[in-house]
Amino acid sequence: MRCLIVGVDSSFGGALSRSLARLGHGVVATTRRPGHAGDHLLLDLAGPLPPLPEADVAIICAAISRLEDCRRHPELAHRINVAAPLELGRSLAQTGARVILPSTSSVFGCVAPHVEENARLAPRSAYARLKAEAEARLLELGSSVSVLRLTKVVRPNVGLLSDWIRQLGQGKTVRAFDDCRFAPLTVEHVVDAITAMVERGESGVYHASGARDISYAEAAAFLAQRVGVASGLVEPVHGADSELPCAELASFTSLATDRLSRLMGFAPPEPLDVLQKVYGPEMDSARQMATVQAG
């Protein structure tokens, strides 16, 4: 199958490209970074779109996903998250290609757990509103379009949790929200889900999610335990008391995954198992650092 991955530099685009190629699919991937082009097609969703190679299925991974960026740069965010994907989708649909759009659990407003695929959308943040609009407009193109809503995808050596691990290993206090939650997934979970959708999925909406929501304070306490430092280094605080906009605070993010489970036997992973798998080596290194400092 000829697969086009728009955004190989995204959080899971590269892993998806490698996985599909290993399975024998023909893969063309795009990047917006000229220095990274190599065998990839140069494509920046912020500018005019070039002619696309022929494809049987395209996965639009490229997006502006940082909440603050979507809030501060609304026109650019709309172009990259809505207008350009819609333009791509229309062009691809005209050639008979299927389109898969990764999306987010935040289109439901993050106020209830285990939300079903057909629940009413109620986005609150700027990012969520853009993804909800992109979903709706692409799905209007018909049976060639599928959407995969995701909870938080965690990766090693990047982001808040990696920062906390380093700080805990140095004996520093971390402040973690006890009223904001996430239901983590690994990159592998996302790649496996999209691969199943590429090979045998139907149109419409699918969900991939962790098994349950955990608070950031609970996650930080787990990290502290694994690093081997005192639990008192984790200071639970209320996100509601922070300077973050209320619309960007997630009380719940978990999704019901019935349709994906029927498609590929997807089993929502336990959050702490995900954290152990993704951050295990980092926690081991931080434990060694903490041991030396305690020395």
For the chain, domains (ranges, CATH) are 2-153+185-209+255-262 (3.40.50.720)
Distance CA 69, CA 239 (A): 19
Beta-bridge partners for 150: 104, 208
Tell me the average pLDDT of the chain.
Answer: 95
Measured CA to CA, the distance from residue 291 to residue 295 in angstroms comes to 6
DSSP output for 77-132:
HHIIIIIHHHHHHHHHHHTT-EEEEEEEGGGG-S-SSSB-TTSPP---SHHHHHHH
**Distance in Å from the first CA to the final CA of the chain:** 57
Share of the chain above pLDDT 90, in %: 90
Instruction: For residue 205, list its beta bridge partners.
Output: 147
Q: What is the pLDDT of residue 24?
A: 97
Q: Is the pTM above the cut of 0.85?
A: yes
User: Residue 159: is its pLDDT beyond 90?
Assistant: yes
Three-state secondary-structure class, residue 189: helix
The H-or-E segment that residue 209 falls in is none
Percent of the chain with pLDDT over 70: 98
**Cβ-contact 201, 143 below 8 angstroms:** no
- Beta-bridged to residue 31, according to DSSP, are 42
User: What residue has token string 């979507």?
Assistant: 70
